[in-house]
Amino acid sequence: MLQRDSPMADPQARLDELITRLKERGHRLTPQRMAVLKILAASEEHPSVEQIYERVKAEFPMTSLATIYKTVTLLKEMGEVLELGFSDDSNRYDGIRPYPHPHLICIKCKKIVDPKVAIWSELRQEVARSTSYQIVSHRLDFFGICPQCQEKE
Ligand SMILES: [Zn+2]
Ligand SMILES: [Zn+2]
């Protein structure tokens, strides 16, 4: 599992990486698919498939939601995109950091950010140590009200 941390995300480097992975597996890079990759490589805000669709459609009006779904699902299966499932909202995606990491979710505007958590890997080791489980993945969500939404109150 990928465990590299990239605090200074470089959208171009991440985009190149995604392109390389798809090419390695013999997948075609249509202009629509490239647009999806670009959005995922540069979006810190964890977009939903619908949000990606709206942005791709602005550039390629003939794009269908199914096309976006297919590309996101493919990347998810390849381990190049992290899916955050929510029972009451649509799923959100992180294409910058596709490995498990903590998330902070605004309960008002549903914005999702990656907080810097220094003890995160220690936490994982602690859980493994105290339970004798072999940890394969984890999910750590914090919920709050973002500064912008606090201002509106
Ligand atoms: Zn907010
Ligand atoms: Zn994230």
Contact yes or no for 101/120 (Cβ under 8 A): yes
| Cα gap 41→112, rounded to integer Å | 16
57 alpha carbon – ligand 2 mean position (Å): 24
Alpha carbon of 12 to those of 9, 15, 17, 58, 122: distances in Å? 9, 5, 9, 21, 31
**Model confidence, pTM:** 0.87
Q: Ligand 2 centre and the CA of 65: distance in Å?
A: 23
Could you list the beta-strand ranges (E) of 6-68. Answer: none
In the chain, % of residues over pLDDT 70: 94
pLDDT digits (tens, 9 = 90+) for 140-153: 999 999 999 999 98
What spacing in Å lies between the alpha carbon of 59 and ligand 1's midpoint?
A: 27
pLDDT of residue 3: 45
pLDDT at 1: 38
Ligand 2 midpoint to CA 25 (Å): 25
The CA 117 to ligand 2 mean position distance, Å, reads 12
- CA of 107, nearest ligand number: 1
Query: For residue range 55-101, what is the model confidence (pLDDT) as tens digits?
Result: 999 999 999 999 999 999 999 999 999 999 988 778 999 999 999 99
pLDDT tens-digit readout, 130-140: 999 999 999 99
pLDDT single digits (tens) 7-58: 557 899 999 999 999 999 999 999 999 999 999 999 999 999 999 999 999 9
- When pLDDT is averaged across residues 112-123 and rounded to a whole number, the result is 88
